[in-house]
Structure 1
Amino acid sequence: MQGSEEREGGEPACWLNQVCEECGRVREQPGRTDCEHCGHDPAADRREAAAGRAATAETPAGGRRRERRDRDPEGKARSARPRDGLGRPLPYGEEGVARQPEGVVRTPAETLSEAQRLLDEGKPFHAHEVFEDAWKSGPERERSLWKGLAQIAVGVTHLARGNTTGGARLLLRGADGIAPWAPGPPHGIDVAAVETWARRTADGIEGRATSGPVTVRPPSLRGTRAG
């Protein structure tokens, strides 16, 4: 039996919004508007833009000027800074790894196949974006399932970035989110196995004596892997 429908109340699907866009590190002090690591203050940027001050900034190459607030082809605000394979922002002008297109509506089978491919390629940040699309576009009754899978992918992302404490917590949070679906898993998802994997991985991380980037073999979402 699936879990009761979850009312989100504005809670984001994951904690990636707590990663500083400037330095790529996790912001652990939610009461602050600026990053405690590098001092970047996105709230100040928004206030400055609203007041119409300093709307442009120089790019590193070519002397061209760009708008301070990047936008996608549809006009939605989205950072155009290149990112590495784990979603960390790189300086403008550097070659990065292309992000997943945003807002793609996929079937559950397509979502699982694409997310599994990205996880197996060591791109959990990109897999989280696929799950987030499903969380936003799918049936409301399945939101807790896709949200939990997105959080697990974000947990793997943070482990690989070296934020082992935050990564372990997100794995457990995601495991809690998908657990109610284990008795009657939809779309062929091996919910019980993914939940067990997330909890065991988190327990192993929390028992480590040292910190640093951790690469883990991702779970098989449907119990089998091609090849």
Structure 2
Amino acid sequence: MGSSGRESDRAAAGRDRDDEGRARNARPRDGLGRPLPHGTPGVARQPEGVVRSPQDTVAEARALLAAGKPFHAHEVFEDAWKSGPREERPLWRGLAQLAVGLTHAARGNTTGGPLLLRRGAGATEEWAAVTGRWRPYGMDVAALAAWARDLADEVERDTSPVDPGARAPRL
């Protein structure tokens, strides 16, 4: 039928878990978040669960995007999405989708990249339309959405991976 609690505990015993039993992934990753073989030097990950001000979130994500690290920027936006005020969560979720869409485009994923770029564009525009805030924290939501849709179209036309630093959005 199913495994007993003891079997589940034994299976989890060999996995990397935090103090609360949640899975951690200590496996090294490259600059685009792809897992590398154990023992390979990887790129340091963003710490998870950091509560930042919205201005600090934008500044840190901006720097990461400019450095060609959209996967890391996605993690910063995800922290804001999970810890920010309820009314702003759709904005941060949409921005995280834009960053992970760029990540997939840089990995050469011509299906997932455009899908996430368009989803993020729609989410941020919808949030701006509902709230009337088209320039939250100095970001131009309409310009970000246009950037995302243009990049999605480009990725579908030219299937080569994009340079994430060169194609990063201006926040």
TM-score strictly above 0.5? yes
71 and 127 in structure 1: CA distance in 2 versus 1, 3 angstrom threshold:
same
Deviation at 1:122, TM superposition (A): 0.7
Q: Which position in structure 2 is the counterpart of 1:218?
A: 168
Counterpart pick for 1:163 among 85, 109, 121: 109
Higher helix fraction: Structure 1 or Structure 2?
2
Distance in 2 between residues matched to 1:101 and 1:119, nearest whole Å: 16
Asked if 2 retains the 8 angstrom alpha-carbon contact of 1:152 and 1:174, the reply is yes
Distance in 1 between residues matched to 2:107 and 2:6, nearest whole Å: 33
TM-score, structure 2 normalization: 0.86
Q: Which one-letter code corresponds to 2:153 in the other structure?
A: D
Q: What does 1:135-154 align with in structure 2 at a 5 Å threshold?
A: 135-154=81-100
Counterpart pick for 2:42 among 96, 114, 138: 96
Asked if 2 retains the 8 angstrom alpha-carbon contact of 1:164 and 1:214, the reply is no
Q: Given the alignment of the two structures, is residue 173 of structure 1 paired with residue 129 of structure 2, yes or no?
A: no
Counterpart pick for 2:152 among 191, 195, 202: 202
Deviation at 1:52, TM superposition (A): 4.6
Distance in 2 between residues matched to 1:55 and 1:76, nearest whole Å: 13
Deviation at 1:54, TM superposition (A): 6.4
Q: Which one-letter code corresponds to 1:215 in the other structure?
A: D
TM-score, structure 1 normalization: 0.66
Q: Which position in structure 2 is the counterpart of 1:83?
A: 29
Identity %: 62
**3-state DSSP class of the match of 2:163?**
coil
Asked if 2 retains the 8 angstrom alpha-carbon contact of 1:49 and 1:55, the reply is no
Distance in 2 between residues matched to 1:203 and 1:128, nearest whole Å: 21
Q: Which one-letter code corresponds to 2:24 in the other structure?
A: R
Distance in 2 between residues matched to 1:50 and 1:160, nearest whole Å: 42
91 and 146 in structure 1: CA distance in 2 versus 1, 3 angstrom threshold:
same
Deviation at 1:76, TM superposition (A): 3.5
Deviation at 1:127, TM superposition (A): 0.4
What CA RMSD, in Å, does the superposition of the two structures yield over aligned residues? 2.2
Aligned pairs, how many? 163
Larger Rg: 1
